[in-house]
């Protein structure tokens, strides 16, 4: 089984990594792919380049933290950093291209603003993914205000 976990550095995405590690251990031989999306902001202006560099650094940091969590759980993951306009589109594209069997995604990411809705990225991934999607929640975690 090939499992994909998109990571953005949020507590929800790190919980999804922990859940994926459990799934990999329960279904050998399984593999874990951690994916972080570098959102492209475009433009040739200096400000655009600075924003792009900051976003890329955040994506790389999220991937590094997720990799550490997987390794702490005894799993050696594969990692992928992609650039695109939409995190959901890139997750679905990677799942399709990599022949993923299961996506495990946090219910909310870094942009979560309310406790009443599933995150926008998670909603789009559930809708358009070419495979099953497991949405991981952290009960009782307060929303980002």
Domain 2-136 coded CATH 3.40.50.620: yes
- The full set of domain ranges for the chain reads 2-136
Q: 36 by DSSP, 3-state: which? A: strand
CA distance 28 to 37: 27
From first to last of its 145 residues, the chain has per-residue pLDDT tens of 999 999 999 999 999 999 999 999 999 999 999 999 998 877 667 777 788 889 999 999 999 999 999 999 999 999 999 999 999 999 999 999 999 999 999 997 655 444 434 578 999 999 999 999 999 998 875 555 5
**109 CB-near residues (< 8 Å, 6+ apart):** 8, 10, 12, 13, 87, 119, 121, 122
Which residues fall within 8 angstroms of residue 58, CB to CB, at 6 or more apart? 9
């Amino acid at each position: 089984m090939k499992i994909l976990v998109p990571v953005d550095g949020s507590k929800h995405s790190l919980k999804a990594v922990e859940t994926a590690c459990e799934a990999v251990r329960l279904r050998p031989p399984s593999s874990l792919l951690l994916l972080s999306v570098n959102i492209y902001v475009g433009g040739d202006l200096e400000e655009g380049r600075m924003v792009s560099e900051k976003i890329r650094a955040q994506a790389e940091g999220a991937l590094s933290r997720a990799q550490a969590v997987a390794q702490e759980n005894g799993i050696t993951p594969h990692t992928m950093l992609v650039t695109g306009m939409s995190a959901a589109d890139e997750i679905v594209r990677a799942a399709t291209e990599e022949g993923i069997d299961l996506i495990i995604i946090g219910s909310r990411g870094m942009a979560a603003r309310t406790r009443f809705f599933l995150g926008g990225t998670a909603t789009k991934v559930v809708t358009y993914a070419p495979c099953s999607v497991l949405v991981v929640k952290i009960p009782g975690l307060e929303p980002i205000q």
